[in-house]
Structure 1
Amino acid sequence: MLNYSLEIVGVYVGLNLLINLFLAYRVSANRVRSNVMTGTGEDERLYNANRAHIVNVEYTPIGLIGLVALHLLSSSIYIIHIAGICLTVGRILHAIGLSQAARISTPPRLIGTVLTWLGQLVAGIACLYYAVM
């Protein structure tokens, strides 16, 4: 049987994979709707969906690597949850904010960014702590 912390990491990995797949689907659906297969043209909805997906792809992998490293370092399950929840909720809120308007800052986008960074900060500091101790 898998270690409990690894199962929890698996939950966050699974949720973030589904978030990414949903964002990728939105880009494809908007491409079909607007008949723009490369770039975003002048279509605002396609641009917003594309930015939400791109930014998710930029931030999610490193956050998930942090969660896996925490498991490998036998971190507290609470630290894994804090980092995982911040990352996952942050990615959802950021995508909602970017989907509303990519060219201006929205409250969900700002809160999502802060939560994502907080999740990475917690994971980074915890990795250093557990690696040294």
Structure 2
Amino acid sequence: MMASTIQAAALWGGMLILLLFALSGAAAGRRRHHRIAIGDGGQHDLALAMRAFGNASEYIPAGLCGLILLAILGTPPALIHTVGGLLFAGRLIHAVAMFYQRGLSMVRALGMTLTWLSLLITGVSLIVWSVL
């Protein structure tokens, strides 16, 4: 059975929300470990966890809105899976690189590139499908 456009958007929406949940949990766990309620207290691992969550929370809402609008417009499920998969992969790759790599990182750059590509495809697709 072929997934509907709404089901495709719901799948990626659920995956992205769970990613945000996991990143939030990682930051909260490091806060508890260091007993820091506000800020990073100079703890580098906490600062990285906070930025990994913060960065994801800056990009995922726009991506989710785009997925929902594409679904409402009735675009093909393959388009939803493409942009949802790119966004999820980009955010996951970027977050993992934030946790495990110091300084400039080609892996982190790949995560951002996939994220931007997802948003670019979504934005152009929304414009095209809105005038069809």
String of CA shifts for 1:36-77, please: whole Å, max 9, x gaps.
111001101100000000000000000010011101111122
* Percent identity (aligned): 28
* 4+ runs deviating over 4 angstroms: none
Q: Distance in 1 between matches of 2:100 and 2:105?
A: 8
Q: Name the count of aligned residue pairs.
A: 130
Letter matched to residue 122 of structure 1: I
Report what 2:36 is aligned to.
36
SS in 1 for 2:40: coil
Q: Distance in 2 between matches of 1:12 and 1:79?
A: 12
Letter matched to residue 115 of structure 2: T
String of CA shifts for 1:3-58, please: whole Å, max 9, x gaps.
71101111101001110000000011101111111100110110000000000000
Query: Any unmatched runs of 5+ in structure 2?
Result: none
The alignment yields a C-alpha RMSD, in angstroms, of 1.2
Letter matched to residue 55 of structure 2: V
